[in-house]
Amino acid sequence: MAVKPEAMTLRRLKALLEVTSVVRGEKDLASVLSTIVRTVAEALEFRTVVLNLYRPAFDDFCVTTVNGSPEAQEALLGSTYDWESWQQLLVDRFRHDGAYLIPHGSFDWSADIGDRYVPQIDTPDDPDAWHPEDELFVPFEDSEGQILGIFSVGEPLSGQRPTAEEIEVLVALAGHAAIAIEAAQQAASTARHRAGLEQLLEVSSTLTAAESTDAILRTVCRGIQTALGFQKVSLVLLESQTGLLRTHAAVGWKAEDPVVTEPSSFDAVRRLFDPEFDVAGCYLLPNEQARRRVDQSEVKYSSQNNGRGPHAWNHHWLAVPLYDRAGAVIGVIWADEPEDRLLPSADRLQALRVFANQATSALLAARQFEQMRFLADHDPLTDLLNRRSFVRELESEVARARRYGHPIALLVLDCDELKGLNDTHGHAAGDEALQRVAATLRRVVRAGDHAFRIGGDEFAVILPEASADDARAVAERIEQELTSLPSADTWKVSMSFGIAVHDAEDDPAVLLRSADDAMYEMKHKREALGLDAVA
């Protein structure tokens, strides 16, 4: 029985309202698509309605939803079609008020344009009847005029090709569907963005609790990976002495990957910071633009998780410079392999920039704390351990020597005529002399030994499990090293040495006093005789 025109009009109006109501619903994207396709099928009485959704990551269309027979679903669901295939079909000669009707016999389907479903129904004799090889497509766009998808409808229950009025209603439904789909996509994107920001905030709150610089850097990389969806993240810091950027933390990389093991030239990387590619303080460059600015030797990796088209990530470079409080670059965050294969949005890059700023603040605070902790145990001029550390370490080594019956030797050194050097050449020369001694001690002592600056021009070396002869050999090597150094402004560094070996009855203070006494005895001999000798 034929449906009355009034009933059909009411049904179509209800369909428009239902599609529009989807916009306000709390449904996910898959549910929205299913509702839209079902509504179009029911309102306009088509057995088969297929939604080809545009995928910006690949610049193609994928069949996401099929309302129809099991055969239609099996043939089409998940199929993909590139733009070239559709461009052959969406041409003016098939256009009907925003839809494209391709009658049987008007197009050569032998060309490979992708999967196609042709229902197994009888071929009608009526020229106005729907032929099983007829096709009707309705493209629809978002609010900015960008393609969102294409409806493909077939097998009208009436058995007839749709009238101009029916096509008009179908186009209107597609327009409302576009609103619903765009809203659902934006809602999903907003939800992901919000979840990412919440994760970044959570990670940010843990940065100040990190105990070390490396712990902060690892947390930063993991936060960017999990919250912003980059599979590979590395963080490099600038070495001011060498001008090289070295990786200090990385996630998604193997330990032997060049990104991790090989340094980069900061001068080369700095050429990437071009205002033309600045988005929210991040620098996002197409591959060809980045490679124009760096040498081939600086190319450590090429993205594998790429897409196609103008919206896709395709071997891009994303660098986020880290700045100190004076605005100087101290490092760079590299992010690669976005999980969605899309170029990151401005919002996503802004979140990355804000997080990088917070990470930098935490990093600088940690560095300052580490420096303060370092200075608590080290001499600021020579970077050797200080007297506080010496007293603590000597007590520990003496206690260990008593417990296990191991020998321990203490070597005390004093610069000769440092006051005269300061008076003659200035305190800068005296400081340089002390730094030369410290550098010599670091070169000469064994890995298990400990060198200290314990006074103005006095140094000490604790030698666990060493005899007096061992200590004397170390002293001789130190003096040889100092003697071989080139002179500066006609002065050379000379030292007096004192050696003491721990006795079972000695406490740390006695051991130090014995070494001091031996050192001053040698100093007096050298002053009296003008000799260079090791006691």
Quick one: which of 374, 369, 350 has its CA closest to 208? Answer: 369
Strand order of the sheet with strand 278-279? 264-265, 244-251, 230-239, 329-338, 317-323, 282-285, 278-279
Q: What's the length of the chain?
A: 535
SS3 of 30, please? helix
d(CA 154, CA 186): 30
d(CA 371, CA 484): 33
d(CA 30, CA 35): 9
Query: How confident is the model over 291-323, as pLDDT tens digits?
Result: 999 988 888 899 999 999 999 999 999 999 999
Q: Which pLDDT does position 263 carry in this prediction? A: 93
Which residue has tokens 């493209």?
139
Per-residue confidence at 5, pLDDT binned at 50, 70, 90?
A: low
Which residues, in sequence order, are CB contacts of 248 under 8 Å at separation 6+? 213, 214, 217, 235, 236, 237, 331
Residue 329 tokens read as 């670059």
Query: How confident is the model over 16-52, as pLDDT tens digits?
Result: 556 566 555 546 778 888 888 888 888 888 999 999 9
d(CA 54, CA 34): 16
pLDDT reading at 171 higher than 60: yes
Quick one: which of 282, 289, 300 has its CA closest to 344? Answer: 282
Q: Provide the CA 244 distance to its chain's centre, in angstroms.
A: 19
Residue 432 tokens read as 């340089």
Residue 40 tokens read as 């179009």
Q: Could you give all domains of the chain from N- to C-terminal order, each with its CATH number? A: 5-188 (3.30.450.40), 208-373 (3.30.450.40), 387-529 (3.30.70.270)
- Which residue numbers are catalytic? 457
Q: Which pLDDT does position 177 carry in this prediction? A: 84
Write the single-letter amino acid at 475: A
Q: Which pLDDT does position 136 carry in this prediction? A: 95
Quick one: which of 391, 503, 400, 393 has its CA closest to 449? Answer: 393
d(CA 287, CA 376): 48
Sign of CA dihedral 435, 436, 437, 439: positive
**SS3 of 362-385:** HHHHHHHHHHHHHHHHECCCCCCE
Q: In this predicted structure, which of 257-271, 455-469, 477-491 has the lowest mean pLDDT?
A: 477-491
